Amino acid sequence: MTNPLRIALVGAGVMGRQHAARITQNSETELVAIADPFSSALADELHLPSFTDHQQMLKQISPDAVIIANPNDLHVATALDCIEAGIPSLLEKPVGCSVEEVRGLVQAEAESGVPILVGHHRRHNPIIQAARRIIQSGALGRITTFTALWQLQKADSYYDMAWRTRKGAGVLLINLVHDLDLMRHLCGEVDTVQAITSNAARGFEVEDSAALLLQFKNGALGTLTGSDACATPWGWDQNSGENPAFAQQPEQPCYLIGGTLGSLSVPQLKHWHYGESKGWHSPLIETADSHASGSALDNQLRHFVQVVRRETQPLISAADALQTLMLVEGARTAAALRQTVTLNNPA
């Protein structure tokens, strides 16, 4: 039997605690140390070595792998330190705060051969795996429209952490980056983006709301309307059941994907089509597709173990996550200039 993978954690906040819980529950992984300059609470609870400096932790502990869950603006520098030490990392989303800094990370990853898995964990959710299979099977025909919603009222106390109110955060980078990543994953690369953003509800330096118009390279059109200051039942976190900490609204969809032969609601996986006949006067037939059970974060950790053991390539590499970040940055530019932005990415 292979020894458990010795994993160290950088950043012991909300997400760090989620990762710690998963690592300790998985028989293939062992949490060996935690670095966080501002709190040793989690390390103390788990009776683990605690460090204020992750570099020191890497040197002293020599973990097999690292999970990075510190604030967004530290992601690239921390991941580069892991590459320098030759240690694979699972890097929380967003991969970084600017396209420019992430290009450097992509190059370092390629030159070193030390893999990075970016934490767009929803791609590991069995619902998304099933939705992607349905779309790729051709059951919806050619995708015409992709309507996405992520609208949630975050508690004001969430913003007590100052980094969440400043440049490097905002609903686009903290939340909508997940939806944009899934829109790419399910529908392909985006050609152009238009956007309007607003900070009117919270008044922070960064936006709390955004409305995006996307044109995919395959010709499909998409919209994403998102806000962290909005009391609605529509959003992956309320609808998917992925995180029980959110009040659940499982009957509501957050993605509506329309194609020439049929349509799909996510996360319900309700599939509508006309059957043998085709056209607006025929009754639409509704079927519900099934999906496997399982937690996205547990699946992500299992996949990370395989990546560290070089048994597979990362499902979301830094280069892949860069494309999602380019979309976020494109949306920001489009909103600031009130212009359509064309993304420079592969087909």
Task: Give the residue with the Cβ less far from ligand NAD, 174 or 190.
Answer: 174
Stretch of 63-71, 99-107, 210-218, 222-230 lying at the interface with ligand NAD (CB under 6 A): 63-71
| CB 210, CB 331: distance < 8 Å | yes
Is residue 72 at the binding interface for ligand NAD, with CB under 6 A as the rule?
A: yes
Least distance in angstroms from the C-beta of 237 to ligand NAD: 9
Least distance in angstroms from the C-beta of 220 to ligand NAD: 25
Is residue 39 at the binding interface for ligand NAD, with CB under 6 A as the rule?
A: yes
∠ Cα 307 310 315 (to 5°):
35
Positions in 73-92 near ligand NAD (CB under 6 A) = 74, 92
Is residue 35 at the binding interface for ligand NAD, with CB under 6 A as the rule?
A: yes
Stretch of 69-77, 138-146, 311-319, 329-337 lying at the interface with ligand NAD (CB under 6 A): 69-77
Task: Give the residue with the Cβ less far from ligand NAD, 161 or 284.
Answer: 161
Positions in 123-162 near ligand NAD (CB under 6 A) = 161
User: Does residue 104 sit in helix, strand or coil?
Assistant: helix
Token output for 270? 């309700």
Stretch of 9-17, 128-136, 143-151, 219-227 lying at the interface with ligand NAD (CB under 6 A): 9-17
Is residue 63 at the binding interface for ligand NAD, with CB under 6 A as the rule?
A: no
DSSP E strands in 278-328: the ranges are 285-288
Least distance in angstroms from the C-beta of 240 to ligand NAD: 11
| CB 322, CB 99: distance < 8 Å | yes
* 29, 34, 257, 298, 306 from 21: Cα distances, Å: 11, 13, 34, 10, 19
User: Does residue 230 sit in helix, strand or coil?
Assistant: coil
Positions in 211-270 near ligand NAD (CB under 6 A) = none
User: Does residue 222 sit in helix, strand or coil?
Assistant: strand
DSSP E strands in 204-282: the ranges are 209-216, 221-227, 255-259, 262-266, 270-273
Least distance in angstroms from the C-beta of 82 to ligand NAD: 12
Is residue 12 at the binding interface for ligand NAD, with CB under 6 A as the rule?
A: yes
Residue keyed to tokens 């989620």: 18
**Rounded Cα distance, 189 and 308, in Å:** 28
Token output for 178? 């997940």
Q: Among residues 15, 82, 190, 318, which is the contact residue for ligand NAD, using CB under 6 A?
A: 15
Stretch of 36-44, 189-197, 251-259, 281-289 lying at the interface with ligand NAD (CB under 6 A): 36-44
Token output for 179? 């939806």
Neighbouring residues of 245: CB distance < 8 A, sequence distance ≥ 6: none
Contacts to ligand NAD by CB under 6 A = 10-16, 35-39, 54, 69-72, 74, 92-93, 119, 121, 161, 174
